[in-house]
A and B are shown apart, each in its own frame.
Chain A
């Protein structure tokens, strides 16, 4: 084993990413104040129950939406099936919190639904007949319709890879279409679907914007509120600990199912391109209706609500510094994704060349940043910097470093780094797994240095994985809310923070303009890269 510079660098990177996670864990053992002890105990149960209920409902709904649409577009031909294939991913462009604004705007007393009814049928009090999608129910809908695309993408990828033989088998056994679906197709795609669902689960537990908007106490908002209201970081950390346990179990589950997925793919044997069945008449209509409804509710509905408000209250359009916001967003995207790419490449390469167990474990642990909600990461970061500054920097007699990290782009990018490191690291790792180690050995034999092997051989090989990672990270950062909100510098806004701040001031119609732009930019991005997103996940 060699302690070379590669090893040290990747060790350092993993360690930095681990700091907030360690902060959360260590403070679990601190004492909480007695004053609110009883109050908190009752809160804790409420948080856990709410989180669990929310999670379960979202999982059921995203499963139905995701696998249903994926099944239809992968096995059948019907009007629009080629369009839906990529259009269904567009829901990624609508973050749950913007979906929540749209739901409220449309269904509230005297909201858009009321206006439509009034214009159609004349004056009357329709409010009582308009269903109210708020509170827990609203949050479930907002999160599900925004996140089902994870399940859709992964399920579809898996469906596409199912061999024709398997489907023929169902036919030969005389199964009906429905029976072959749930007896053969669904079980075969299970690992992919579970992987999609666990992504949904992690995002749901970490969700802040929509849940906060509907003021539901989940573990995540509970942590935030106990920190804010009770000033009790120790309690907040204790709740975080529960959340982490929750999330780690999901994490393990996901890893297990991924292992299965690998097995499944390797054994697929004679792959025969299957032919899509053309649907006619009523069936074709039903398939179209299902996909269109999902597409409409998940994407067209929030888009048109935001568009409607922008047109109805155009003055908000002129108040917004659109160019600044675009530049800020681009700045964050470019900066963060380059930092993430560079360091994940280095640590992956370090892992590869030093092949060290400790390092492997450390880097596996360090990717759990993605599982920790952004709000908690941001809090842990501030706590850590404040502690580090007060106890070490001040002790050594240096000037405070707080301003360098809290409320600065540097701090913001650093926490993004911790949060999204897993995306970048895993993406590159799976790319690396495709490059046989003998390729490296061959390069060394030809007299290539490690650096040259890395630059001239690995990077070109990894190009596709790198591109895909950039797409994912960019989408995440365009939508990111809590970290940006807590850590951004003076006079620095993104579309997400502008929308959130207007919405929190009961100025939903002013939130519409930044929301609309966020959706448009993210959609544009998805449309440009959609072929790529769909292709990459096949592999």
Chain B
């Protein structure tokens, strides 16, 4: 009996050690995705892809910052094929650091995605706009008429604006686009104006900004489009659904370049061991079925023509707005550091 026990423990130890090493060996037909988008809808699409093609999608989920670092430190030995994240600024920054490679240039990709929203190294897979939300009770139509991002610095909004922290990537990209269009100096002045207008120190996520307007803490908020739809969908509970109805969406800069657009992007990592599979996965994410799946679940705007956004988005936010097709999304990554510097210097928390 005792001897049996000893043997068992030897076998267990042996098993543990073997599994340790086996776990580090990879095999076969697969694609490795460093994934910073954690929607259930994405995971569903990946398993669909595996069913269709037989290519296994290996995921490492994490916050974008940490994932990027791992790719950078692993360097040319990185196992990453694709880096999928929710902001063009991040893909652009990875490109600037030289950790991406060209190759997302297949016919299918080029046909699906407008030039503004892609480079050869990264491609937008779903769109979102960063817009203004307002309380129709406390903000008049006249006040909003012709409203722009630039107008957020107007003293008439003093104590009435909420927006999240300067460290947030959506804000970095928005400010980067302002730097691209108006220059760094004008944007630095603008940031000071915005900080002076804030109803409170920046805190919370985009949804918290919208709810602050609903709760009466502020009159206008800056947040991405899909958040309101998400709240209206009831997925966040009945209370937030009610709250969302107290807030209206406004698309800024309709009379000039159009509303600031951003994308979730897929980037091809340098040294990707499964490059061909990575391209296949990106192409799959751009098919009408995948795009429809995105729009109905994450409430983003579709990247390709011929697919319409979720009815919740269409009915409550509207569709016929002018998108900024002029400012290249690649500039978000390029101006990112300058954007953060500008905001920090203005005292934007």
* Chain A interface residues toward B at CB < 8 A: 39, 108-111, 114-115, 118, 125, 127-128, 134-135, 215, 225, 227-229, 231, 312-313, 319, 334-335, 338, 379, 382-383, 386, 389-390, 400, 402-404, 406-410, 413, 485-486, 488-491, 493, 497, 501-502, 504-507, 509-510
Contact = CB atoms under 8 A, between A and B. Distances in A.
Contact of B167 (A134, A215, A504, A509): A215
B73 A383 contact: yes
A406 B74 contact: yes
B216 A125 contact: yes
A335 B278 CA distance: 34
Nearest to A406: B74
Given A215-B203, A229-B167, A382-B70, 11 more contacts: A108-B211, A109-B211, A128-B216, A134-B204, A379-B69, A406-B74, A407-B70, A408-B23, A409-B24, A490-B26, A501-B63
Contacts of A410: 20-21, 23-24
Given A109-B243, A125-B216, A408-B24, A507 B38 contact: yes
14 contacts: A39-B344, A108-B211, A110-B214, A125-B215, A128-B216, A215-B203, A319-B40, A389-B77, A402-B77, A409-B23, A409-B24, A490-B60, A501-B38, A509-B236
Contacts of A488: 60
Given A110-B211, A128-B216, A406-B73, A501 B205 contact: no
Contact of A502 (B38, B62, B204, B208): B38
A501 B61 contact: yes
A39 B341 contact: yes
Interface string B1-39: 000000000000100100111011010000010000111
- Nearest 6 CB-CB pairings of A with B: A228-B65, A127-B215, A490-B58, A109-B211, A109-B215, A110-B239
Nearest to B68: A228
A413 B79 CA distance: 20
B207 A506 contact: yes
Interface in B57-87: 58-63, 65-66, 68-70, 73-75, 77, 79
Contacts of A389: 77
B191 to A, nearest CB: 15
B86 to A, nearest CB: 9
Contact of A486 (B19, B21, B70, B167): B70
Nearest to A413: B20
Interface SS majority for chain A = helix
B175 interface: no
B24 A386 contact: no
- What interface size band does chain B fall in? 35 or more
A128 B214 CA distance: 11
Contacts of B95: none
A410 B23 CA distance: 9
A501 B62 contact: yes
Nearest to A215: B165
Contacts, number: 135
B164 to A, nearest CB: 9
A138 B198 CA distance: 22
A198 B237 CA distance: 42
Nearest to B25: A403
Given A128-B216, A215-B167, A408-B23, A386 B62 contact: no
Contact of A504 (B19, B63, B74): B63
Interface in B279-293: none
A489 B24 CA distance: 8
B300 interface: no
Interface in B174-217: 203-208, 211-212, 214-217
Interface string B40-69: 100000000000000000111111011011
Contact of B60 (A312, A334, A390, A407): A407
B222 interface: no
B73 A228 contact: no
B16 A400 contact: no
A279 to B, nearest CB: 42
A228 B216 CA distance: 35
A215 B168 CA distance: 10
B61 A497 contact: yes
Given A39-B341, A110-B243, A404 B73 contact: no
Contacts of B272: none
Nearest to A405: B24
A127 B208 contact: no
B341 to A, nearest CB: 7
A276 to B, nearest CB: 44
A263 to B, nearest CB: 41
B262 interface: no
A343 B181 CA distance: 60
B38 A489 contact: no
Given A115-B239, A338-B16, A389-B77, A406 B70 contact: yes
Given A229-B340, A335-B16, A108 B23 contact: no
A109 B40 CA distance: 25
B240 interface: yes
B38 A505 contact: yes
B23 A386 contact: no
